């Protein structure tokens, strides 16, 4: 039996029209590919929304079987200095795309917002000098970190997080292909865990696929995420019913028995506050305390002490 392929790569769309949830972008890219007039591009958006997939699909549709030597992919967060731009990128960009007359090479820089300012200025010059034989596609999480001279030379495409209905449809196709037994609550849980990141969602489904039946509980177990129902119950116990000792026991269970990190719990606490049946004023005060204790945890404070202190504050808010 061979090594099992990572599903995020195995099921990565091969064509632009197959990319999920980005129709507002893929339509324009398909038109550029058909006319072979692709400009320099800036793909901006959160992780796992299809930026790399779109770049690879563009290259495949332009070059077909002659892709080798015409597409250079670099992760700028690993190679972020000016030397990389002057050596690797410039050397690749200055050579014509042999074998495909009238075509250009493509340089894809993933996480380009990690490039230093000097590297970006060097990149700008390279983009100017070799635009007749090379196109650049830059993928970023934060477009504001790219210098204005580069932004003005690119067509900006803003990718959005994948919506729940699109993600669920995509995951159901994978589950059908892999003969998985997955209930609807599990798909909803995957969406909550992935937060619009399709790559993370696909990897989560693969992690859970070892179970005979994939349920909501399976998803939270394999991702080591706090169960929303358990966190909401803890909050209701301390705020609405005023039972601090019982809520503390539930908190310790989440920390010790479920093996959750304090940051995981406090993040779900923040999500669940909005669904509690309490006054808006109480919710505001709880949000304020949540932010304060989240900061304390990131500074390295003891999770047990800080989360119990937060529960104590919630109990006082409930009493008032």
Which tens digit of pLDDT belongs to each residue from 86-111? Answer: 778 888 888 876 655 558 999 999 99
Q: Is the per-residue pLDDT at 51 higher than 80?
A: yes
Confidence class of residue 2 from pLDDT cuts 50, 70 and 90? Answer: very low
Instruction: Supply the pLDDT for residue 198.
Output: 95
- Please write the tens of the pLDDT for every residue from 118-145: 889 989 999 999 998 999 999 999 999 9
**Residues in CB range of 280: below 8 A, 6 or more apart:** none
CA nearest 105: which of 74, 69, 138, 129?
A: 69
Q: 200 and 303: one domain?
A: no
Question: Of all residues in the chain, what percent carry a pLDDT higher than 90?
Answer: 69
Q: Please report which confidence band the pLDDT of residue 74 belongs to, taking 50, 70 and 90 as the band edges.
A: confident
Q: Which CATH number fits the domain that encloses residue 144?
A: 3.40.50.300
Would residue 60 count as lying in a domain? yes
Total domain count, the chain: 3
pLDDT class of 200 with cuts at 50, 70, 90: very high
Higher pLDDT, 47 or 65: 47
Distance separating alpha carbons of residues 33 and 281, to the nearest angstrom = 54
Mean pLDDT, range 258-270, rounded to an integer:
89
Residue 81 and residue 128 in one domain: yes
Predicted confidence (pLDDT) at residue 250 exceeds the cutoff of 80: yes
Range(s) of the domain holding residue 286: 228-319
Whether residues 91 and 183 share a domain: the answer is no
Q: Write a three-state SS string for 117-148.
A: HHHHHHHHHHHHHCCCCEEEEEEECCHHHCCH
Residue range 10-36: average pLDDT?
A: 93
pTM: 0.81
- The CATH number of whichever domain residue 284 belongs to comes to 1.20.272.10
Do residue 219 and residue 232 come from a single domain?
no
Q: What is the rounded average pLDDT of the residues 108-115? A: 90
Give the mean model confidence (pLDDT) for residues 250-278.
90
Instruction: Locate 262 and state its tokens.
Output: 């304090």
**What is the reported pLDDT for 186?**
94
CA–CA dist 298, 263 (Å, integer): 8
pLDDT at 204: 94
Based on the fold, state whether residues 113 and 173 are members of the same structural domain: no
**Statement to judge: residues 186 and 286 lie in one domain:** no
Of the residues 223, 243, 262, the one at which a domain ends: 223
Last residue of a domain, one of 223, 238, 263: 223
Do residues 134 and 50 both lie within one domain? yes
pLDDT value of position 1: 33
Domain match, 28 and 103 both: yes
Does residue 1 lie in a domain region?
no
Tell me if 146 sits within 8 A of 43, measured CB to CB. no
pLDDT-wise least confident of 102-106, 147-151, 172-176: 102-106
Q: Identify whether 59 is part of a domain.
A: yes
């Amino acid at each position: 039996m061979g090594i099992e392929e990572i599903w995020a790569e195995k099921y990565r769309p091969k064509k632009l029209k197959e990319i999920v949830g980005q129709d507002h972008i893929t339509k324009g890219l398909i038109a550029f590919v058909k006319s072979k007039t692709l400009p320099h591009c800036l793909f901006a958006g959160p992780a796992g929304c299809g930026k790399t997939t779109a770049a690879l699909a563009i290259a495949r549709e332009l070059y077909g079987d002659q892709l080798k030597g015409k597409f250079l992919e670099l992760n700028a967060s690993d190679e972020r200095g000016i030397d990389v731009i002057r050596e690797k990128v410039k050397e690749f960009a200055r050579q014509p795309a042999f074998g495909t007359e009238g075509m250009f090479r493509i340089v894809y820089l993933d996480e380009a917002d990690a490039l230093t300012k000097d590297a970006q200025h060097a990149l700008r010059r390279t983009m100017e000098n070799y635009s007749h034989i090379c196109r650049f596609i830059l993928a970023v999480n934060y477009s504001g970190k790219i210098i204005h001279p580069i932004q003005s030379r690119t067509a900006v495409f803003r990718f959005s997080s994948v919506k729940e209905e699109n993600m669920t449809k995509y995951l159901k196709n994978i589950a059908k292909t892999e003969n998985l037994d997955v209930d609807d609550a599990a798909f909803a849980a995957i969406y909550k865990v992935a937060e619009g990141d399709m790559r993370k969602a696909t990897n989560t489904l693969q992690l859970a696929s070892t179970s005979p039946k994939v349920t909501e509980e399976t998803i939270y177990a394999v991702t080591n995420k706090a169960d929303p129902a358990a966190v909401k119950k803890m909050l209701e116990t301390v705020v609405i019913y005023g039972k601090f000792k019982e809520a503390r026991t539930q908190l310790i269970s989440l920390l010790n028995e479920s093996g959750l990190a304090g940051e995981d719990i406090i993040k779900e606490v923040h999500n669940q506050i909005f669904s509690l049946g309490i006054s808006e004023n109480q919710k505001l005060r709880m949000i304020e305390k949540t932010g304060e204790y989240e900061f304390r945890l990131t500074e390295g404070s003891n999770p047990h002490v800080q989360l119990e202190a937060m529960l104590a504050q919630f109990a006082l808010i409930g009493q008032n």
